[in-house]
Amino acid sequence: MYVAIAGNIGSGKSTLTALLAEAFGLKPIYEAASENPYLEDFYRDMRAYAFPSQVFFLARRVRQHLLEVNGKAPVVQDRTLYEDALVFAQHLYREGLLSPRDWRTYLELFHSVAPALRKPDLLIYLRAGLPTLRKRIAKRGRPFEQNLPDRYLLGLNALYEELMAGWNLSPVHVVEADQVDFVERAEDREALLAALKPLLRP
């Protein structure tokens, strides 16, 4: 079983990854945000650091797949390769922060490696509006995330909806994170785990 968790910055992916790992015996695989040497520079100057930051995330995601996801191991992954490319990198391109040449090169890398990687058995999409994202970003307190423009987060949300509308690699379970607060409310966590249990059977 390979469960992938998709969602915007601050939607609760890491929290849900940990919950599912503990509840269902899955190996958690987290995004390498803290390891990205470009990330703080990227948030300060997106145009200058968009390409190296996205290439780092792509390389690290491929490495995670080769070492931990590909094969038969039961895993839950915080964010997917597809979001890296079709949400984050594409948003930077649409906003003019990633040049057409860099976007073409990035897509070439993505399309070269994606077919060789294990596809999710289930995708859980955490849909969260701007107020929820802002609240959770503030709570986790990463300094370089605090001044993200609303336009950036809303643009990512729009591309997430596009990705989900065309997703055909696995079943999708949508969690309305504005109404289901599994981060703060124990009753919401228990209800969500109960709803997911039938979907996570091998």
Q: How far is 7 from 178, CA to CA, in rounded Å?
A: 12
SS3 57: helix
Going by C-beta distance under 8 Å and a sequence separation of 6 or more, which residues neighbour residue 67? none
Look up 45 and say whether it is catalytic.
no
Helices (H), ranges, the chain: 13-24, 39-44, 46-64, 81-83, 90-94, 100-113, 130-140, 150-165, 186-196
Length of the chain: 202
CB-CB contact of 60 with 66 (8 Å):
no
Picking from 6, 27, 8, 19, the residue whose alpha carbon sits closest to that of residue 183 is 19
The one-character DSSP state at 165 is H
Q: How much of the chain is in helix, strand and coil states, percent to nearest 5? A: 60, 10, 30
| 191: phi then psi, degrees, rounded to nearest 5 | -65, -40
- Catalytic-role residue among 41, 78, 102, 121: 78
Annotated active-site positions, please? 78
